[in-house]
Each structure stands twice: as structure tokens, then as C-alpha cells.
Structure 1
Amino acid sequence: MALVETVYRLSRSFPDSEHFGLTSQVRRCAVSVPSNIAEGAARRSTAEYLRFLSMARGSLSELDTQIQIATRLGYIEASPDFEQRVDTTFARITALMNALEKVGAAR
């Protein structure tokens, strides 16, 4: 959720011409990460949860790429704090996936 807040703040500085382009896409990706985690957690099987966690990681990677594009286009400055937050979030999702896979394998 903190990542979503950060992305919304960062994307405020994007040009108006990107309102329906990169701004919208970056925000949708950011919102997709916790949304997929929440939806997966509400599912009835570990396999479904893992599928949604995988989608969350995909959205996170897509978000990272789009932020890099925005940086290259000069819409925002590079942010080591943002990169750290993305890396930490990716690692946490991966750790959760690994733990769920381990529990599933033990059954």
C-alpha cells in the first residue's frame, strides 16, 4: 500500500499529456500489486493464492519498468528509495510464495 502512495505522489509530476497514458498505466500497475495479493489471500486454495502472488510480482515488474521509462523521459528523477521499495516488495512476495510452496509440498 505504501508503494501505491509513493507512485501516486511520483506520477503527479508527469505531464498532462500523459494523463491517459503513462500516468494511468503506472497507477493501475501500482494498485494491481496489493489488489492481487488481497484477492489471492481470499481464495480457497494455495495454488490460486500462488497464481495471484505471481500476478502481483508481474505487475510490480511492469511498474518498475514504467518508472524507469518515466525517468528516462525526464518526468521524474531517479529515486533509490523507490527502487529499494520495489526490491523489498518483490523479495517479500517471493518469500511468501516460497513459504506457501514449501507448505504445499509438505502436505
Structure 2
Amino acid sequence: MAGYQELKVWKASMRFALDVYRVTSGFPAEERYGLTSQLRRASVSIPSNIAEGHCRDAPGDLVRFCNIALGSLGEVETQLLLARELGFVDRGASEGLLQQAEQIGKMLRGLIRSIKRP
């Protein structure tokens, strides 16, 4: 398997994290240690877990860390919906991010299936 930086899902999740950082830069200052921080940490967790799992020796570790990345993805989706309801992000921007999240989820699930396949 190629290095983690060559994985499409890692590249997509890096773009996603960057986009989350850009969107959250417009959040209210009082959210710096709240929703802004939560969204940023959860989005960074996605490519980080893919990289960590890939750098371990056992394929089972990659599956485990991809599942953790899926959990972080769910966190980001939930927090984006909350941010939209609070008026911190407009519908268009949140829909774009949610579509990216859906694609990343599909890619992660596909990677997990391919690793589990004998």
C-alpha cells in the first residue's frame, strides 16, 4: 500500500479540515474555545487518524483508526448542523461541507471494506 499521503481519503480529509478552518474563522470570538475549537479538532482528527493507522504495522490498526476517523466525521457533521442552526455558517457553506463529509465517509467505509476483504 502506498504512503498515507497518497491515499485519496487522506487528501480529501485534509482539504476538508482546511475548509473547516476557513469557515470557522468567521465564527464569533466567544466561540473560540467552544464550537470553533471542537470543529477544528474533530476535523483535524480525521486525516490524523488515517495517517496514524496507516503508519502502524497491522492492517487491523488501520481499520481501527479509520473507524475512529468515522467517529470524528460524525462529530463534525453534528457540529456543522449546530453551527448552521446558530447562524454561524450559512446554509450553502454548511451544505458544501456536509457533502464533503459524506464523500469522505464513503471513502473511509470503502477503505475499511477493502482491508477486511481476504
User: TM-score with structure 2 length normalisation?
Assistant: 0.85
Dislocated runs of 4+, deviation >4 Å: none
Distance 2:79 2:49 in 1: 19
Matching residue within 40, 46, 51 for 2:59: 46
SS at match of 1:75: coil
Distance 1:81 1:26 in 2: 15
TM superposition shift of 1:84: 1.1
Identity of counterpart residues, as a percentage?
A: 38
Give the CA RMSD over aligned residues: 0.7
User: TM-score with structure 1 length normalisation?
Assistant: 0.93
Distance 1:59 1:83 in 2: 13
Whichever of the two has the greater Rg, that structure is 1
- AA at the equivalent of 2:41: R
Q: How many residues align?
A: 103
Structure 1: gaps of 5 or more residues:
none
Pair 1:66 & 2:71 matched: no
Structure 2: gaps of 5 or more residues:
1-13
Distance 2:98 2:33 in 1: 24
Distance 2:40 2:27 in 1: 12
Distance 1:92 1:30 in 2: 16
